[in-house]
């Protein structure tokens, strides 16, 4: 069979469109097809990504060991305080637990951990088999909660109940339980805002916090980068929610509006254009004249500081073509604009879990001929990057080696990165990273004449 | 004596920072060493993605692995439809010569009969000659180490026939680096040995840059060779720690009467001597002069470094086979193995390590089925000053100030895990140099200040 041309998979057709070429609606937000080598992870992954940055919580995975191993401290979320979240705890279920149930083990695990680490908050993540063997997570957690007089919150994240988005929702539900005020609590609203959907990768939430401070905006709590139990508990007090990572936080924001009358706006701090627009929108939403003025000052000052640096990179990068394949839609949308800032056009764009509305915006922003695809696989990424002549790919860890094997530059836009890509600082880092990979001298060696050429260049 | 962490009662209930991965991970690695093979993980989407991510990060290679993407429906009514669809799609896009199917916790818990499903699939597609190999590898059934060997055994059970006698030696290897595999092949070539090396991921997971990119990489153990392993002269299996139940070499011995030489990874003088002598014994070939020179250079280097090494107190952790190999090197060179640890539960490990460390001036602490929280505690107690093992040992560096020599799988926070050479006389020397130099670096880093603080008295 070898030697035949790869055939495309028909059930994938609906998930791929070319702008200007076909008018059909892109299909998205549905289960991955079997055997398509989807780049998506699972429900548990989605939930863990969102909750893990909560620094003083015990994150306990109820399941077999793998789920905990593969998620141990692989993210770059930073903490200004507790470090407990950087541990991966697991009930390490074995064969006999599958047969007899894991309830006792889980209860004992919670007891042991709470005693050892004195935490006020425990998240217990459900994994695939827990959903099947029927351990009553809810009952075990509430019993433990009563026993220790702390919050023990089950996260319904069995891997098979949906895709990564379902995990965001499960995390949202867990957070809603956490922030729910007790019956007796008297709630007084203040003028602060909550910042949703920043996980403080490489200190990104700190950068944004600094901006807000300069504008005179009080940040109540970030969901969930560098957050902790007490701060999260105060979430209902805020006046406004601003959302960066919409994929993971829109559900929570909607619920908070419903329950605590906190309106929300979507913002993005990726790229100069979006950062400036977001700061303006926040000031406008809060409606205070001084904030609006200070926002303009900040934008003017910061733009002046970074403009020339970015222009410098732009002259080196003008005309290059980018392919994007990232987790969520908000990031993809911002990246289109951010690439434009450095003179790069996007020729392929896709996400793991983008929503319909986000794909519509992408479709508006990109040029005719750009391929837009949902839940892509390596074969498709390869095909369209080659067809469209992409010079670089933006993606995560799994996509990186593919780009490199194709001789294409690569930008790490994942949770693992060690440098911030948010705000004005991030815009400079981004441009620098693009330059460092697109203009690296290594590509020259790939096109060198090689051993067969007979070139010797004796001195 | 080995301790299953009796000092901490809660351990049986909770694993704090895992030192092992799950069974299907090992299955994927084993199958990646078969020519033109593709793997499907029968389970929810996340399992496949997490493992791909881990493997891709270590090898810096694209790692395409299919998933049957089990969803709620598949979990309730059975995953046959999903698995068949996965087989269709994988065949369509990759045209593999063999498909391996490994299972997960989920598939095993809902009782999937993958042999029946695949058997029926092949009948329905009228392709009964096509090799599909299956392995039941529930994540709760063991670690990736057991998954690796068990899958190797399953492949033999399904492919190997009572072949005509040939002159080849079966060389069965554990999870060592592609550079290690290439070194073993070089040694075999020097000895002019005919062999089947199984599995061989030295090319498939470490391929040269070449254009055009192909989805399937070259290399891997040939399927025809695997079929004929039943006719070999002997089997040399680097699997001294593994139990008979998961031993591919034992299977060949019992099924086809192939004599099994179960040896340690050739790491260190003694273990490499055993490897070479075993080959000489089986074939009657003489050890070439150049090999003797390599051995002599190793001895020379060991003498050069012995006083530095004597100051080493090591913690060795990771997969049992690798840990045992490193322990032998440490013992031979006077680096005291204060803590010898594995996350796997392997019966022979304890006995073998106990024997290996018997002559050490102090008692080593042996930990089986352990986690990093216990490894750290034991390392502090044992006054360890060097760690040897995979990247997750960075936890020991961070929490215990123990410098780490990265070795084994996975290495995800440094480049070049796939290029680390540590076997044979030459590889041993290279690993020993890494160990010695880490000890020296650590000593030189602080000796001026530490001596000053210790002895200098003003006035």
With respect to residue B157, please indicate whether it lies within any of the assigned structural domains: no
With respect to residue A187, please indicate whether it lies within any of the assigned structural domains: no
- Indicate whether B281 and B294 sit together in one domain: no
Angle at B97 between CA B93 and CA B102, to 5 degrees: 85
- Indicate whether A204 and A162 sit together in one domain: no
* Out of A39, A60, A97, closest to residue B49 by CB: A39
CB B39 within 8 A of CB B33: no
Structural domain of B439: 290-448
With respect to residue A63, please indicate whether it lies within any of the assigned structural domains: yes
pLDDT at B9: 35
Judge: B140–A116 Cβ closer than 8 Å, yes or no. Answer: no
Label residue B21 left, alpha or beta by phi (over 0 means left) and psi (-120 to 50 means alpha): beta
Q: How far apart are the CA of B123 and the nearest CA of chain A, in angstroms?
A: 18
B1, pLDDT greater than 90 = no
What CA dihedral angle connects A311, A315, A320 and A326, to 10 degrees?
A: -20
- Indicate whether B441 and B302 sit together in one domain: yes
Judge: A163–B67 Cβ closer than 8 Å, yes or no. Answer: no
What CA dihedral angle connects B31, B34, B37 and B43, to 10 degrees?
A: -10
Q: Work out the percent of chain B whose per-residue pLDDT is above 70.
A: 97
Q: Is A111 on the interface with B (CB under 8 A)?
A: yes
Cα(B213)–Cα(A379) distance, rounded to whole angstroms? 11
Q: Tell me: the pLDDT tens digits for A126-149? A: 999 998 888 999 999 999 999 999
Q: Is B14 on the interface with A (CB under 8 A)?
A: yes
Cα(A426)–Cα(A204) distance, rounded to whole angstroms? 8
The full 3-state SS of A281-348, as one line of letters, equals: HHHHHHCCHHHHHHHHHHHHHHHHHHHHHHHHHHHHHCCCEEEEEECCHHHHHHHHHHHHHCCCEEEE
Last residue of a domain, one of B148, B180, B202: B148
Per-residue confidence band for B134, with pLDDT thresholds at 50, 70 and 90: very high
- Indicate whether A168 and A268 sit together in one domain: no
**Contacts (Cβ under 8 Å, ≥6 apart) of B448:** none
Structure tokens that stand for B59 in this block: 């090898």
With respect to residue B456, please indicate whether it lies within any of the assigned structural domains: no
- Indicate whether B204 and B280 sit together in one domain: yes
With respect to residue A236, please indicate whether it lies within any of the assigned structural domains: yes
Name residue B40's beta-bridge partners.
B66, B101
Last residue of a domain, one of A111, A146, A179: A179
Could you give the ipTM of this predicted complex?
0.94
Q: Between helices B269-283 and B289-309, what is the axis angle to 10°?
A: 160
With respect to residue B337, please indicate whether it lies within any of the assigned structural domains: yes
Which residue in B37, B25, B6, B5 sits closest to B200, CA to CA? B37
- Indicate whether B349 and B361 sit together in one domain: yes
CATH of the domain at A89: 3.40.50.1980
With respect to residue B395, please indicate whether it lies within any of the assigned structural domains: yes
Cα(A153)–Cα(A125) distance, rounded to whole angstroms? 9
- Indicate whether A148 and A251 sit together in one domain: no
Average pLDDT of the segment spanning B55-74:
94
- Indicate whether B441 and B423 sit together in one domain: yes
pLDDT at A3: 36
Last residue of a domain, one of A113, A144, A179: A179
- Spell out a b/e string for A217-252, using b for 16 or more CB atoms within 10 Å of the CB, else e: bebbbbbbbbbbbebbbbbbbbbbbbbbbbbbbbbb
- Indicate whether A175 and A199 sit together in one domain: no
B50, pLDDT greater than 90 = yes
Q: Is B95 on the interface with A (CB under 8 A)?
A: yes
Q: How far apart are the CA of A106 and the nearest CA of chain B, in angstroms?
A: 7
Which residue in A153, A140, A124, A163 sits closest to A45, CA to CA? A163
Instruction: Choose, out of A1, A65, A107, A117, the residue to mutate when testing the contact with B (most B CBs < 10 Å).
Output: A65
Q: How far apart are the CA of B37 and the nearest CA of chain A, in angstroms?
A: 12
* Out of B22, B65, B67, closest to residue A64 by CB: B22
Structure tokens that stand for B156 in this block: 């033999």
Q: Tell me: the pLDDT tens digits for B189-236? A: 999 999 999 999 999 999 999 999 999 999 999 999 999 999 999 999
Q: How far apart are the CA of A263 and the nearest CA of chain B, in angstroms?
A: 34
Last residue of a domain, one of B264, B287, B310: B287
Q: How many separate domains does chain B show? A: 3
With respect to residue A15, please indicate whether it lies within any of the assigned structural domains: no
Which residue in A199, A121, A126 sits closest to A158, CA to CA? A126
With respect to residue B389, please indicate whether it lies within any of the assigned structural domains: yes
Q: Is B83 on the interface with A (CB under 8 A)?
A: yes
- Indicate whether B439 and B334 sit together in one domain: yes
Judge: B94–A128 Cβ closer than 8 Å, yes or no. Answer: no
B5, pLDDT greater than 50 = no
Question: How many beta-carbon pairs below 8 A join chains A and B?
Answer: 250
Per-residue confidence band for B73, with pLDDT thresholds at 50, 70 and 90: confident
- Indicate whether A227 and A264 sit together in one domain: yes
With respect to residue A113, please indicate whether it lies within any of the assigned structural domains: yes
- Indicate whether A53 and A174 sit together in one domain: yes
Cα(B72)–Cα(A15) distance, rounded to whole angstroms? 22
DSSP tag of A181: P
Q: How many separate domains does chain A show? A: 2
- Cα end-to-end distance, chain A, whole Å: 50
With respect to residue A20, please indicate whether it lies within any of the assigned structural domains: no
Structure tokens that stand for B148 in this block: 């690796």
With respect to residue A376, please indicate whether it lies within any of the assigned structural domains: no
Q: Is B402 on the interface with A (CB under 8 A)?
A: no
Cα(A195)–Cα(A354) distance, rounded to whole angstroms? 21
- Indicate whether B296 and B259 sit together in one domain: no
Q: How far apart are the CA of B336 and the nearest CA of chain A, in angstroms?
A: 29
* Out of A37, A39, A160, closest to residue B44 by CB: A160
* Out of B17, B45, B50, closest to residue A88 by CB: B17
Max intra-chain CA distance, chain B: 93
Q: Is A415 on the interface with B (CB under 8 A)?
A: no
- Indicate whether B303 and B315 sit together in one domain: yes
Residues of A within 8 A of B215 (CB-CB) are 6, 378-379, 382
- Indicate whether B319 and B431 sit together in one domain: yes
With respect to residue B278, please indicate whether it lies within any of the assigned structural domains: yes
- Indicate whether A148 and A80 sit together in one domain: yes
Average pLDDT of the segment spanning B321-328:
98
pLDDT at B6: 45
Residues of B within 8 A of A404 (CB-CB) are 60
Cα(B333)–Cα(B268) distance, rounded to whole angstroms? 9
- Indicate whether B321 and B420 sit together in one domain: yes
Cα(A348)–Cα(B356) distance, rounded to whole angstroms? 57
- Indicate whether A215 and A165 sit together in one domain: no
Last residue of a domain, one of B287, B318, B352: B287
pLDDT at B263: 98
Cα(B267)–Cα(B288) distance, rounded to whole angstroms? 19
Q: Is B25 on the interface with A (CB under 8 A)?
A: yes
Cα(B66)–Cα(A78) distance, rounded to whole angstroms? 33
Average pLDDT, chain B: 95
- Indicate whether A134 and A210 sit together in one domain: no
- Indicate whether B308 and B357 sit together in one domain: yes
Last residue of a domain, one of A247, A280, A297: A297
Structural domain of A224: 193-297
CB B295 within 8 A of CB B271: no
pLDDT at B459: 66
Q: Which of A278-282, B6-10, B160-164 has the lowest mean pLDDT?
A: B6-10
Q: How far apart are the CA of A337 and the nearest CA of chain B, in angstroms?
A: 28
Q: Is A6 on the interface with B (CB under 8 A)?
A: yes
Pairing mode, strands A392-395 and A321-326: parallel
Judge: A38–B44 Cβ closer than 8 Å, yes or no. Answer: no
- Indicate whether A159 and A281 sit together in one domain: no
* Out of B36, B45, B211, closest to residue A42 by CB: B45
pLDDT at B397: 98
- Indicate whether A218 and A285 sit together in one domain: yes
Q: Which residue shows structure tokens 């998240």? A: A123
Residues of B within 8 A of A129 (CB-CB) are 105-106, 109, 140
3-state secondary structure at position B338: strand
Name residue A324's beta-bridge partners.
A349, A394
pLDDT at B12: 72
Q: Is B230 on the interface with A (CB under 8 A)?
A: no
Label residue B17 left, alpha or beta by phi (over 0 means left) and psi (-120 to 50 means alpha): left
Q: Is A71 on the interface with B (CB under 8 A)?
A: yes
Pairing mode, strands B260-263 and B336-342: unpaired
With respect to residue A437, please indicate whether it lies within any of the assigned structural domains: no
Cα(A14)–Cα(A26) distance, rounded to whole angstroms? 6
Average pLDDT of the segment spanning B428-447:
96
- Indicate whether B298 and B367 sit together in one domain: yes
The residue ranges of DSSP E strands in A184-273, in sequence order, are 193-198, 219-224, 240-243, 264-266
- Indicate whether A111 and A235 sit together in one domain: no
* Out of A64, A162, A405, closest to residue B140 by CB: A64
Cα(B262)–Cα(B253) distance, rounded to whole angstroms? 11
CB A226 within 8 A of CB A53: yes
With respect to residue B381, please indicate whether it lies within any of the assigned structural domains: yes
Q: How far apart are the CA of B401 and the nearest CA of chain A, in angstroms?
A: 17
Cα(A239)–Cα(A278) distance, rounded to whole angstroms? 17
B270, pLDDT greater than 60 = yes
The low-confidence residues of chain A, meaning pLDDT below 70, are 1-7, 449, 457-459
CATH of the domain at B236: 3.40.50.1980
């Amino acid at each position: 069979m070898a030697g035949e041309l790869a055939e495309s998979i028909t059930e994938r057709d609906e998930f791929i469109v070319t702008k200007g070429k076909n008018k059909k609606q892109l299909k998205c937000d549905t289960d991955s097809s079997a055997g398509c080598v989807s780049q998506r992870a699972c429900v548990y992954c989605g939930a863990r990504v969102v909750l893990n940055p909560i620094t003083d919580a015990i994150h306990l995975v109820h399941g077999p060991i793998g789920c905990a191993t593969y998620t141990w401290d692989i993210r770059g979320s930073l903490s200004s305080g507790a470090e407990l979240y950087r541990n991966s705890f697991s009930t390490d279920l074995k064969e006999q637990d599958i047969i007899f149930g894991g309830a006792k083990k889980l209860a004992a695990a919670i007891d042991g951990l709470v005693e050892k680490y004195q935490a006020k908050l425990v998240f217990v993540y459900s994994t695939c088999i827990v959903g099947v063997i029927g351990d009553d997570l809810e009952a075990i957690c509430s019993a433990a909660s009563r026993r220790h007089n702390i919050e023990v919150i089950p996260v319904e994240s069995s891997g098979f109940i949906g895709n990564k988005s379902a995990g965001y929702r499960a995390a949202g539900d867990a957070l809603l339980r956490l922030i729910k005020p007790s019956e007796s609590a008297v709630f007084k609203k203040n003028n602060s805002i909550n910042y949703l959907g920043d996980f403080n990768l490489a200190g990104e939430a700190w950068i944004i916090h600094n901006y807000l401070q300069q504008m005179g905006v009080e940040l109540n709590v970030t969901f969930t980068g560098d957050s902790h139990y007490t701060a999260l508990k105060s979430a209902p007090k805020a006046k406004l929610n601003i959302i960066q990572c919409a994929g993971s936080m829109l559900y929570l924001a909607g619920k908070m509006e419903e329950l605590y009358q906190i309106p929300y706006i979507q913002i993005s701090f990726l790229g100069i254009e979006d950062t400036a627009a977001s700061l303006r929108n926040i000031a406008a939403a809060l409606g205070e004249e001084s904030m609006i003025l200070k926002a303009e000052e900040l934008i003017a000052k910061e733009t002046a500081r970074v403009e020339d640096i970015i222009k410098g990179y732009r002259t080196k990068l003008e005309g290059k073509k980018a392919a994007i394949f990232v987790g969520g839609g908000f990031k993809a949308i911002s990246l289109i604009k951010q690439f434009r800032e450095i003179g790069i056009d996007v020729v392929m764009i896709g996400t793991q879990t983008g929503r319909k509305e986000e794909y519509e915006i992408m479709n508006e922003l990109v040029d005719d001929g750009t391929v837009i695809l949902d839940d892509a696989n390596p074969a498709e990424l390869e095909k369209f990057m080659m067809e469209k002549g992409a010079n670089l790919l933006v993606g995560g860890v799994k996509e990186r080696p593919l780009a490199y094997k194709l001789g294409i530059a690569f930008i790490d836009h994942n949770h693992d990165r060690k440098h911030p890509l948010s705000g004005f600082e991030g815009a400079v880092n981004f441009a620098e990273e693009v330059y460092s990979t697109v203009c690296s001298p290594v590509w020259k060696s790939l096109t060198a004449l090689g051993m067969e050429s007979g070139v010797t260049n004796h001195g | 004596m080995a301790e299953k962490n009796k000092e901490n009662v809660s351990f049986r209930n909770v694993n704090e920072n895992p030192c092992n991965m799950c069974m299907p991970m090992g299955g994927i690695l084993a199958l990646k060493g078969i020519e033109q093979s593709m793997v499907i993980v029968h389970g929810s989407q996340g399992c496949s993605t997490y493992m791909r991510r881990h493997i891709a990060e270590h090898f810096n290679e694209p790692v395409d692995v299919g998933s049957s993407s089990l969803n709620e429906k598949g979990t309730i009514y059975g995953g046959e439809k999903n698995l068949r669809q996965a087989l269709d799609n994988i065949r369509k896009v990759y045209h593999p010569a063999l498909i391996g199917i490994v299972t997960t916790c989920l598939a095993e818990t809902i009782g999937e009969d993958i042999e029946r499903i695949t058997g029926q699939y092949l009948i329905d597609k009228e392709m009964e000659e096509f090799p599909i190999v299956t392995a039941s590898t529930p994540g709760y059934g063991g670690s990736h180490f057991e998954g690796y060997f068990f899958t190797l055994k399953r492949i033999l059970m399904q492919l190997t026939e009572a072949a005509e006698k040939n002159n080849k030696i079966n060389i069965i290897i554990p999870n060592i680096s592609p550079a290690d595999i290439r070194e073993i092949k070089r040694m075999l070539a020097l000895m002019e040995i005919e062999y089947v090396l199984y599995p061989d991921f030295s090319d498939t997971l470490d391929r040269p840059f070449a254009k055009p990119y192909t989805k399937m990489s070259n290399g891997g153990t040939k399927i025809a060779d695997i079929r004929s392993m039943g006719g070999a002269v002997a089997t040399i299996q680097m699997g001294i720690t593994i139990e008979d139940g998961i031993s591919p070499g034992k299977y060949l011995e019992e099924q086809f009467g192939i004599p099994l030489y179960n040896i340690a990874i050739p790491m260190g003088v003694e273990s490499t001597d055993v490897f070479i002598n075993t080959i000489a014994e089986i074939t009657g070939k003489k050890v070439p002069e150049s090999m003797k020179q390599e051995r002599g250079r190793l001895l020379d280097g060991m003498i050069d470094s012995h006083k530095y090494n004597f100051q080493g107190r090591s913690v060795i952790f990771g997969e049992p086979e690798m840990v045992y190999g490193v322990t032998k090197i440490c013992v031979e060179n006077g680096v005291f193995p204060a803590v010898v640890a594995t996350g796997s539960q392997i019966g022979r490990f304890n006995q073998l390590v106990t024997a290996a460390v018997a002559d050490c001036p102090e008692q080593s602490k042996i930990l089986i089925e352990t986690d990093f929280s216990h490894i750290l505690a034991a390392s502090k107690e044992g006054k360890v000053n060097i760690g040897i093992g995979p990247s997750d040992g960075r936890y020991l560096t961070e929490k215990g100030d123990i410098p780490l020599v990265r070795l084994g799988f996975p290495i995800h926070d440094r480049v070049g895990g796939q290029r680390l050479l540590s076997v044979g006389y030459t590889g041993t020397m290279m690993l020993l140099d890494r160990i010695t130099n880490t000890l020296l670096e650590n000593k030189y880093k602080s000796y001026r200040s530490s001596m000053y603080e210790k002895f200098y008295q003003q006035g």
